[in-house]
Chains A and B, each alone.
Chain A
């Protein structure tokens, strides 16, 4: 009796395995023909890496899974470094990163396929007590490298400057150092990873300056700094006038599987780019009038 139960259970297990094997075959390119649209996508996608990109990927994944109920998408964090390492090792189907894979010396970027899914603009966030709304790039570099210690020296009030940096390896730090500070190493200060914490610290500490993605300037708790007379607006980033911005990347190892490709196409397509991307505080790549390569060279589209 009990033996029979076991046999039945095993049989069900084996059958279901065979069935799932058949199921996944359906999505292979050989079998799909004219009615690709109607063919149900199925399978599991593991996405991980940059915590900055995580909310956007999660929101898009939720929408995608609504349209394709057979697809299961798991969006993890872990940081850009983890995203690049794990996608290279084949543990993630998609690795999210704030930085170009080329910027990490031990990642073989030629192996990875880059999909730039969004753009994030950023600028310095200044405490209100500093009395500063704009700075020349030269002065900004002086502030961040510690050559200037008081806001009165660059035209502000008599308040001591407190720097709020990001940790080593952080994409936000890399972008800000490269495009706002012209690759100068910032002086020591407070270091925090989370954008919300940085915003809180800048808001509460007199004379503090840090840097944030443009989407975090959604209230007047911190001052959004204009650099070299250019306001940090989305339009100025899109036209290339404001230099401090970076791509949000999704990397796959080689050519992606059909279901992964379908998701990336969905990310790049209009509904996501014009709705979810701005709603999550990013700029759409389709709106950008300029392009930048891994070396930081800017070209018109």
Chain B
């Protein structure tokens, strides 16, 4: 690092190395000086700009690509969103109805949240309220391990354990919305748990003390005081978990069955936006109608994800006022 800076500084005036360090301070070369104010500013501003620009770039790119199927291939937007038949490869009369996938994605997400949230909030309460010492010591690493397991492993366990279990106990082929929701539910468990634990820890001790002083039991305090006080952050935790569930592709793809029609029951195979994109993307050629509609599915995915973020903003703002 130091070598480089000296060499480059020497280039404008190679003969008076000693003086150049001070004299050139205001020139652009001063960014190579370790203590330069500029250096820090450029790094920090630069990082912020890169992050903002990349989000804008991704959104723009996805929008341009995603609108191609409506602008270039003349697919009706309403038909695309409300249509229930997805036969992009059919030689005569291909149809592009994405409703089953939008439905599948939302159903898996909501079911996963319903399955995971009680366990996640329960274990968060356990490690903060009931057994702060060893609960923290045991549960925290367990949750971190859950985060670290790759999604393909969840998918494979789902395929080898949950699918056969569903087949014998629920019926059908075992590939179902419910299997997908179960696998994703386990995957979002750590997200919800760790944020919920932070939320519960943030509840002021005065509130708990006051509750105990009124003669409330531990459970009454948790149920009537701690949970209501942490409500908005707990909701945020659940929505963040849902956002993660919504974007999950690999594990879901292995257990949901990827059937492209609307399911009649949660024990029926179904498909999500992400699984259809990952299944078909490699087989489609750039610029083909199939490729364009997959981008459109991506755009729908992005719009709904933005919806989740707006929801989180809304919840946390409401929490601040009360």
Contacts and interface: CB of A to CB of B under 8 A. Distances in A.
Contact of B285 (A3, A81, A188, A204): A81
B110 interface: no
Interface residues of A, number: 39
Nearest to B85: A188
A271 interface: no
Contact of A168 (B7, B88, B257, B269): B88
A82 B282 CA distance: 6
Interface in A138-178: 162, 167-171, 173-174
A105 B290 CA distance: 11
B3 interface: yes
A104 B285 contact: yes
A10 B175 CA distance: 61
B284 A188 contact: no
B3 A205 contact: no
Interface in A89-122: 89, 104-107
A89 B3 CA distance: 43
A107 B285 CA distance: 8
Most chain A beta carbons < 10 A, residue from B87, B173, B261, B288: B173
A286 to B, nearest CB: 28
Contacts of A201: 175
A193 B275 CA distance: 11
Chain B interface extent, by class: 35 or more
B284 A183 contact: no
A79 interface: yes
Nearest to B155: A197
Contacts of B281: 79, 81
A123 interface: no
Contact of B7 (A2, A188, A197): A2
Contact of A81 (B6, B276, B288): B288
Nearest to B91: A183
A173 B258 CA distance: 15
A192 interface: yes
B14 A3 contact: yes
Given A188-B259, A191-B271, A168 B89 contact: yes
B67 to A, nearest CB: 17
A299 to B, nearest CB: 23
B69 interface: no
A163 to B, nearest CB: 9
Contacts of B159: 197, 200
A280 B289 CA distance: 33
A11 interface: no
Given A189-B259, A190-B257, A197-B159, A167 B283 contact: yes
A106 B258 contact: no
Given A3-B14, A6-B7, A190-B175, A169 B284 contact: yes
Contacts of A190: 173, 175, 257-259, 269
Nearest to B254: A197
B285 A85 contact: yes
B254 A169 contact: no
B44 to A, nearest CB: 30
B10 interface: yes
Contact of B258 (A3, A81, A167, A174): A167
Given A169-B88, A169-B89, 9 more contacts: A3-B10, A81-B284, A89-B286, A168-B88, A168-B279, A169-B280, A169-B290, A190-B259, A191-B271
Interface of A: 2-3, 6, 51, 77-82, 84-85, 89, 104-107, 162, 167-171, 173-174, 183, 185, 188-193, 197, 200-201, 204-205, 208
15 contacts: A2-B3, A79-B282, A81-B283, A81-B290, A84-B285, A85-B285, A85-B287, A106-B286, A168-B89, A168-B290, A171-B283, A173-B89, A189-B269, A205-B173, A208-B173
Interface of B: 3, 6-7, 10, 14, 87-91, 159, 163-164, 167, 173-175, 254, 257-261, 269, 271, 276, 279-291
